[in-house]
Amino acid sequence: MAYRYSVGSQTYQFADLKTVLAKATPARSGDYLAGVAAETYAERMAARMCLAAIPLKTFLEDLIIPYETDEVTRLIIDTHDQQAFAEISHLTVADFRDWLLSDAADSATLKRVAPGITPEMAAAVSKLMRNQDLILVAKKCHVSTSFRNTIGLPGHISVRLQPNHPTDDARGIAASMLDGLLYGAGDAVIGINPATDSLPALMDLYYLVDDVISQYNIPTQSCILTHVTNQIQLIERGAPVDLVFQSIAGTEKANKSFGIDIALLKEAQSAALSLNRGTVKNAAGSHNVMYFETGQGSALSANANFGVDQQTCEVRAYAVARHLSPLLINTVVGFIGPEYLYDGKQIIRAGLEDHFCGKLLGLPIGCDVCYTNHAEADQDDMDTLMTLLATAGLTFIMGIPGADDIMLNYQTTSFHDALYLRKVLGLKAAPEFELWLKAMNIMDAAGRIQPVTKTHNMLQNMPKNLLNAA
């Protein structure tokens, strides 16, 4: 179906719904790369005005990627909650923005309506929203999940401790882990990106993190970010797996390029649940055992975007995530490079969009606030984005020693950054983890990080990999 919008004497024609969405998107290099971006500023505004008048119901009928050929589309349509949708089914995209910003859309209402919102509806409305709108509405969306602690309570921000080492050296990883824990980080997950694909080496990494968590009795969870098929095999071989990780994208073909489909993710979820390693139950009486990573541009980089703009593709990945009730989902916003998000301005906008859309769909979304050395960005841009996101109620950020990941070769956020956010915005760590920090004399009663002396328990009784070596 064709769409059009007239500005004065000029009429803008859009071939189909995905073209309206793409041309309405704030400018970014990835959409130019895909050849789907608006060609003029005026065309972009015409597309937004056209989009504003489209009823939300249209997104259930005019499918941007065919139902027959894409399992993500089938998932979105087949799991759509008509009852939850009833409250907003009469709205256009413009009305939807107005309603989201109104006081009528309070936290309870947004939670109730979330299963009725499809990725395309969320993406569409985000394109009409300014940065402050994305912040305000996201802040009203409360999403809480549990494994060994409680993630996502209002007024809290968690940290994924990412103790990567370029050769997976056990002592190097343990040293970064200790550094992070002594800076109060690690409540979201202690998650390693391994350099290796080797199953025996991965098994060692699982035991390395699990031993540290057990030794200090830390209320947190571990994850090794290798391919999901490796994790399933390692579960079968008896590895102590807390969370199962996978990178996911918003089309069946893009997921296929990652070597996955929805059935495989379901299999992994069942395998992780069968280990029953969680200790804190969520509102549904179960544990959240999945950890997903996403990022705008992944579908296009797999040549699997089908003319859909990168932000809409990204939100479709959240439908896959939502189906698997993750403990955490992480948009790795600036990792992919300048061909998708060129500079600080584009990275900041994308980070706010991803967080808003994720929260609107009911996901515990955090953000790897990051950039690579071939992007036009620096730490000042990261400061801006992390401050905006934390203001918006971000679920978690990354914690890497000095913000410099020596294995993945990019810059993200540091343990110091997390302390900055907690200090400036009055945010707390997950409650179970905060109790542990206080019991370990890492945090004082007022929530400030404590000076650590040489006689501190964790330095006197180091992880066994470090004990002999240090």
Partner 1 sequence: MTNNINDNLSLTASTAEAGITQDPWAQLKKFTRARIALGRVGSSLPTREVLDFGLAHAMARDAVHLALDVAALAADIQAQGFSTIQVHSLAPDRANYLLRPDWGRRLNDHSQQDLANLCNLKKQNTAPIDFLIVVGDGLSSLAVSRHVPPLLAEIRQHLPADWQIGPVVIASQARVAIADEIGQALNARMVAMLIGERPGLSSPDSLGIYLTYAPKLGLSDADRNCISNVRPEGLQYAAAAKKLLWLAKESMRLSVSGVALKDESDVQEITQQP
Site for partner 1 in 332-351 (CB under 8 A): 337-339, 342
Contacts (CB under 8 A) with partner 1, residues 451-470: 451-454, 456, 459, 466, 469-470
Token pair recorded at residue 395? 């679920």
Is residue 77 a contact residue for partner 1 (CB under 8 A)? no
Is residue 28 a contact residue for partner 1 (CB under 8 A)? no
By CB under 8 A, name the one of 16, 27, 33, 384 that touches partner 1: 33
Nearest-angstrom CA–CA distance, 70 and 325: 21
Nearest-angstrom CA–CA distance, 184 and 442: 7
175, 435 in Cβ contact below 8 A? Answer: no
Strand order in the sheet with 222-224: 222-224, 189-192, 158-161, 396-399, 365-368, 328-332, 290-294, 244-247
Contacts (CB under 8 A) with partner 1, residues 198-257: 198-201, 227, 229-230, 233, 256-257
Nearest-angstrom CA–CA distance, 101 and 388: 17
Tell me the closest approach of the beta carbon of residue 71 to partner 1, in angstroms: 16
Nearest-angstrom CA–CA distance, 33 and 31: 5
Token pair recorded at residue 418? 């997390």
Contacts (CB under 8 A) with partner 1, residues 122-141: none
| Residues contacting partner 1: total by CB under 8 A | 73
Is residue 258 a contact residue for partner 1 (CB under 8 A)? yes
Q: Which is nearest to 294 in space by CA: 277, 278, 314, 274? A: 314
Q: What length is written for the chain? A: 470
Q: Which helix (H) or strand (E) holds 247?
A: strand 244-247
Contacts (CB under 8 A) with partner 1, residues 267-326: 301-303
Is residue 171 a contact residue for partner 1 (CB under 8 A)? yes
36 vs 173, which CB is nearer to partner 1?
173
39 vs 78, which CB is nearer to partner 1?
39
By CB under 8 A, name the one of 40, 61, 423, 461 that touches partner 1: 423
In single-letter form, the type of residue at position 388 comes to L
89 vs 457, which CB is nearer to partner 1?
457
By CB under 8 A, name the one of 40, 169, 274, 286 that touches partner 1: 169
Is residue 105 a contact residue for partner 1 (CB under 8 A)? no
250, 262 in Cβ contact below 8 A? Answer: no
Q: Which is nearest to 22 in space by CA: 273, 308, 240? A: 308
By CB under 8 A, name the one of 86, 166, 214, 238 that touches partner 1: 166
By CB under 8 A, name the one of 29, 296, 305, 325 that touches partner 1: 29
Candidates 148-156, 166-174, 318-326, 359-367 — which segment interacts with partner 1 by CB under 8 A?
166-174
144 vs 372, which CB is nearer to partner 1?
372
Token pair recorded at residue 386? 């992390």
260 vs 319, which CB is nearer to partner 1?
260
Contacts (CB under 8 A) with partner 1, residues 362-391: 372-374, 378-379
Nearest-angstrom CA–CA distance, 328 and 290: 7
167 vs 215, which CB is nearer to partner 1?
167
Is residue 42 a contact residue for partner 1 (CB under 8 A)? no
Alpha carbon distance, N-terminus to C-terminus of the chain = 68
By CB under 8 A, name the one of 238, 402, 439, 467 that touches partner 1: 402
430, 157 in Cβ contact below 8 A? Answer: no
